[in-house]
Amino acid sequence: QGLGLAALNLSGCRSLAPHGVEGKIFGPGTDQFTRNLVEADLSSTLELTDLSIANMLRSATKLASLSLRYVATDLMINALAESNAAASFLYLVDVAFSSKLTDASVQLIATKATHLQRMNLRGCRSISAACYNEVPIALQKRLLNKELGRNILIDDILKRSRASSMRAKGDNVFFFSSETRSRKK
C-alpha cells in the first residue's frame, strides 16, 4: 500500500497499448496507484478505453484537476460525478473538443462537483448552445454565493437561468436576470 501517484500526465500518448498501461494503472485492483491522484491529464489518449478511464476516475478520490481533451465521454464524466473527488476536491475539468459528450453528463458533473470553478467545453460539438452558456454562468454564480456566505444549489441556478428571459441569435445566447431592484425616491 504505497502512496501512489499525485500527478499523471499522459497527454498526447495516442498509441498507448490498451493491454500495457491499462493493466498497470487503470485495471482492476490498481486503485492504490490512483487513489491519491490530484492532477490528471489524459488528453488525446485515444487507445485507452472509456471503461478503464471511468474506473480510474472512480478510484481517484482526491482529484482536483482533470483534462480529458478529445476523449471525454458520458461514461467517464458520469463516473467522475459519482466519485468522492467530485464532492470534495474537483475544481477544474477540461473536456474541450470531446465529441461524445452530452448536455446531461455536463450538467450532472456541474451539479455534483460542488467545488467546480471551471469547465472547458470548447469545441464539444454535441453540447447545445444553451448548456455551453448556462454551465459557466451557474458555476460563477455558485462561486460568488459561496464567497458571500450563501449556500445555493447549482440546480436552482440552472433552472433560473433557463426560466429567465433570453434572446438567441445564432450561437450567441444572452441571459437577463429576472430579479430587479426598485429604486427609493
Mean pLDDT by 10 residues, the chain (185 residues): 76 72 59 84 90 88 95 97 91 96 95 92 96 90 76 57 41 34 36
The predicted structure's pLDDT at residue 177 = 34
Q: Are 68 and 42 in contact (CB under 8 A)?
A: yes
The predicted structure's pLDDT at residue 35 = 84
Give the position of cell 490512483.
34
Could you please report the per-residue DSSP string of 76-111?
Answer: HHHHHHHSHHHHHT--EEE-TT-TB--HHHHHHHHH
Phi, psi of 72 (to 5 degrees): -60, 140
The predicted structure's pLDDT at residue 1 = 44
User: In the structure grid, which three cell numbers stand for residue 10, read together?
Assistant: 499522459
> Cβ-count burial of 83 within 10 angstroms (0-12 exposed, 13-18 middle, 19+ buried)?
buried
The predicted structure's pLDDT at residue 38 = 94
The predicted structure's pLDDT at residue 135 = 92
